[in-house]
Amino acid sequence: MITFYEKDRVFKLDTPHTSYLIGIVDEENFIGHIYYGKRLKESEASYLMRTGEPPFVPSQNNRERCSFHDCFPFEYPTGGLGDYRESCFSIRTPGGHVGSMLAYVSHEIIAGKPLLAGLPATFGSEQECTTLRIVCEDKYIGMQVELLYTVFADNDAITRSVKVINTGKEAFYLTKVLSACLDMDYRDYEMISLHGSWARERHIQRKALGYGIQSVSSYRGESSHQDHPFLALVDKNTTQEHGEVYAMNFVYSGNFRAQAEVSQFDLVRMSMGIHPEHFCWKLEAGESFQAPEVVMVYTDQGLDAMTGTFHKLYKKHLIRGEYKDKKRPILINNWEATYFDFNTEKLLSIAKEASKLGIEMLVMDDGWFGKRSSDNCALGDWKVNEEKINGGLKYLVDEVNKLGMKFGIWFEPEMISPDSDLYRAHPDWAIAIPNRPATESRQQYVLDLSRKEVVDYIYEMVANVLRSANIEYVKWDMNRQLSDLGSLSLPADRQGELYHRYVLAVYEMQGRLVKEFPHLLLENCSGGGARFDPGMLYFSPQIWCSDDTDPIERLEIQEGTALIYPLSTMGAHVSDCPNHTVGRVTPFETRGIVALAGTFGYELDVTKIPQEDRDMIPAQVAMYHKYNDLVREGDYYRIASCAQNHKFDCWQVVSEDKQQSLVTYVQVLNRANFKSKRILLKGLEVDTRYQVQFVNDEKVEPKVYSGDTLMKAGLLVPNPWGDFRSVLIELKAV
């Protein structure tokens, strides 16, 4: 619900458990942030903007206007006029000046949620959500800025975005347009962010917030392995179950910056948006720029509650398409099985064996097109290599279909190899700086998707392959980050638009793809999980989580990913041992149990793995079919983190009706002479009695306990014998 209190000039945005208050102050109509936190009954907290204490508002004390600008809690801070904290917005006027200030002009409260032109965003019907649009202006520049806020009837998240309109007569340049800001009082916060590298994505980092600026960011052209478009400020006592959390997550897949600044007055400014580095967007008179959406979550119930809010929002109001709420086919991908060394016979032999074991789809990974026999060449030549795929693609797909399996295929549409027919024909289609040798990465360049002819050509190449056979799944990969930013089609003063235009074009291509092929299951991927973000989730219900398939490494990666994203989105496969990335040998059972927390599939040569591993597959397949509805749709809780305790990991999912639950416990190294572990379960019904069954340990007798006992007193999990062992526990209401 959103209400405007006209007399007090206060907007009150209410979600089921939170309130967000915005105020308009003084004759100049400054827009201030009043409050974000637990739901308030009244709208009377505008004193929190401290306009009644020195330096007072400019109408009362204009000689200290600069001091006012420097401490007022701006709802959307612009810079250059005396607010010395880092702003969210910056402009270069035709005269080369940078200062700007926004004043309230008007507002409207709308049922539903408007689309954001060209961008992925959360959505909801007129019954499900309400939107506030505040129109502000800088009359000296000739510019309007619209601040957009949406609240959902069934969710505690608030979404925000910003649109800038040039209402003047001359073009100006936007050099910074962040999407969200929170100016708040500092309360001994810590910041939580997600960091990583290739094969080590989204590890949780928590550290104290100090004076000055602290940020996480990417200007790699994608959300990246290294940092993640997520930031949470939490009370230093916040745990999984208790305490305050202010979180932001960016619905965008390109450069970003998430930042917190603690100022001289112990005020904190938290912000998120497109990274201003290398960003410069020319806005002609009459044109507008739409910045992407930020999702904000506040809770005083700890990290589990934050996670629950994100998961529910994304499941219901972001992810789309046929597979949104559906069990995904169990796939087998040939990447770790064969790398580039495969042909029709090899793929069919894998498919034949896999189909006998209950696997439902074969995915042909990198290497099926052009002259691609290694990662040195042929990106852009999206024509089947009939020397490898002898008999042609349709033949292969038909044969796989005859086995009762679906067929999926890999593409890397955004790339071009210097050694490719495409590059030989169109060297100017690669992003590069003129008269400077372009920097290669994995021996490839990035296509200049700001050019419509490039997008159209590549789209048609990809779509033609999909039109040629019964292909039901696409893995859309992206294996290098952007550098050498230069487009031959953009004038000098628009080169700073390339990063963002690139992301918009990726969205456009994926939008076209899912429209033309509505039954396609799309899985995004970027050298593992470098583009695992809400922007991509708008197009694909699942994203490959990491190239590291070792189940022990995956614990930390999946814990960090699941902090924000539903388990249904996490691409997770069982692979062979020794693991190809870390060389670790783990039980096949544990590999299956860890992959069960994601989309579940295989990435191995099923004709070559040990017989005892192969024999376990039908039972794993059955387990997937038995538990996937629960894993996909249930509420997720973090019980223990091996990243913190270095001993064991534990998580739980509980069905919405609380009648069923699945607990996964993974031991890292076994240690001598220890007792069983006591774990406190979550999310159960206090008065319901549950039968507790150790699914993969028949020695432990099923017992019945109440939800109350299991949550307060806990459950004992016997120490499994051996390293990297795992335990699956099913709870059923009796």
Residue 262 near residue 321, CB atoms below 8 Å:
no
Q: Give whichever of 11 and 335 is closer to ligand DGJ, judged by the CB atom.
A: 335
Residue 150 near residue 122, CB atoms below 8 Å:
yes
- Minimum distance from CB of 455 to ligand DGJ (Å)? 22
Joined together, the tokens standing for residue 729 give 């526990």
CB count in 10 Å sphere of residue 159: 29
- Minimum distance from CB of 33 to ligand DGJ (Å)? 41
Q: Give whichever of 14 and 381 is closer to ligand DGJ, judged by the CB atom.
A: 381
Q: Give whichever of 43 and 420 is closer to ligand DGJ, judged by the CB atom.
A: 420
- Determine the residue type at 343: N
433 to 472: interface string for ligand DGJ, x by CB under 6 A = ----------------------------------------
- Minimum distance from CB of 544 to ligand DGJ (Å)? 5
- Minimum distance from CB of 367 to ligand DGJ (Å)? 8
- Minimum distance from CB of 547 to ligand DGJ (Å)? 5
- Determine the residue type at 345: E
Spatial separation of the C-alpha atoms in residues 416 and 382, rounded to whole Å: 11
Q: Give whichever of 472 and 547 is closer to ligand DGJ, judged by the CB atom.
A: 547
Spatial separation of the C-alpha atoms in residues 592 and 609, rounded to whole Å: 14
Residue 180 near residue 92, CB atoms below 8 Å:
no
Beta bridge mates, 36: 20
The secondary element (H helix, E strand) that includes residue 316 is helix 302-317
List phi, psi (to 5°) of 704.
-115, 130
- Minimum distance from CB of 442 to ligand DGJ (Å)? 8
CB count in 10 Å sphere of residue 456: 12
Residue 43 near residue 12, CB atoms below 8 Å:
yes
Q: Give whichever of 366 and 553 is closer to ligand DGJ, judged by the CB atom.
A: 366
Site for ligand DGJ in 516-555 (CB under 6 A): 525, 527-528, 544, 547
563 to 582: interface string for ligand DGJ, x by CB under 6 A = --------------------
Please pick, from the candidates 138, 477, 548, 576, the single residue that binds ligand DGJ as defined by CB under 6 A.
Answer: 477
Q: Give whichever of 479 and 664 is closer to ligand DGJ, judged by the CB atom.
A: 479
Q: Catalytic: 547?
A: yes
Alpha helices in 370-516 (DSSP H): 393-402, 421-425, 452-467, 498-516
- Minimum distance from CB of 382 to ligand DGJ (Å)? 14
Q: Using DSSP, state whether 356 is helix, strand or coil.
A: helix
Q: Give whichever of 308 and 408 is closer to ligand DGJ, judged by the CB atom.
A: 408
Residue 524 near residue 476, CB atoms below 8 Å:
yes
Spatial separation of the C-alpha atoms in residues 652 and 213, rounded to whole Å: 36
Widest CA span of the chain, in angstroms? 83
- Minimum distance from CB of 477 to ligand DGJ (Å)? 5
- Minimum distance from CB of 510 to ligand DGJ (Å)? 17
List phi, psi (to 5°) of 403.
-80, 0
Q: How far apart are the first and last CA of the chain?
A: 39
Q: Give whichever of 149 and 423 is closer to ligand DGJ, judged by the CB atom.
A: 423
Spatial separation of the C-alpha atoms in residues 481 and 223, rounded to whole Å: 10
What is the DSSP secondary structure assignment for residue 65, as one 8-state letter? Answer: H
Q: Catalytic: 235?
A: no
Alpha helices in 634-706 (DSSP H): 642-645
Spatial separation of the C-alpha atoms in residues 364 and 350, rounded to whole Å: 11
CB count in 10 Å sphere of residue 549: 30
- Minimum distance from CB of 347 to ligand DGJ (Å)? 15
Q: Determine the distance from the C-alpha atom of residue 587 to the mean position of all C-alpha atoms in its chain, rounded to a whole number.
A: 30
- Please work out the total of residues on this chain that contact ligand DGJ, with binding judged by CB under 6 A: 12
Q: Which of 304, 477, 613, 649 is labelled catalytic? A: 477
Q: Which of 533, 547, 576, 649 is labelled catalytic? A: 547
Q: Give whichever of 417 and 664 is closer to ligand DGJ, judged by the CB atom.
A: 417
Joined together, the tokens standing for residue 8 give 């007090």
Q: Using DSSP, state whether 620 is helix, strand or coil.
A: helix
Spatial separation of the C-alpha atoms in residues 36 and 562, rounded to whole Å: 25
Q: Give whichever of 410 and 445 is closer to ligand DGJ, judged by the CB atom.
A: 410
Q: Give whichever of 477 and 553 is closer to ligand DGJ, judged by the CB atom.
A: 477
CB count in 10 Å sphere of residue 73: 25
Spatial separation of the C-alpha atoms in residues 398 and 402, rounded to whole Å: 6
- Minimum distance from CB of 373 to ligand DGJ (Å)? 12
Spatial separation of the C-alpha atoms in residues 500 and 487, rounded to whole Å: 12
Q: Give whichever of 378 and 449 is closer to ligand DGJ, judged by the CB atom.
A: 378
Residues 6+ apart with CB under 8 A from 655: 630, 633, 634, 635, 661
CA-to-CA dists, residue 244 to 190, 232, 236, 459, angstroms: 11, 10, 9, 46
Task: Tell me: does residue 479 bind ligand DGJ (CB under 6 A).
Answer: yes
- Minimum distance from CB of 180 to ligand DGJ (Å)? 31
Question: Smallest Cα–Cα separation from 468: which of 382, 540, 402?
Answer: 382
Site for ligand DGJ in 372-391 (CB under 6 A): 375
CB count in 10 Å sphere of residue 631: 22
Please pick, from the candidates 410, 565, 600, 637, the single residue that binds ligand DGJ as defined by CB under 6 A.
Answer: 410
Nearest residue relative to ligand DGJ (C-beta):
366
Spatial separation of the C-alpha atoms in residues 23 and 29, rounded to whole Å: 9
**Catalytic annotation, residues:** 477, 547
Give the interface with ligand DGJ as residue ranges (CB under 6 A).
335, 365-366, 375, 410, 477, 479, 525, 527-528, 544, 547
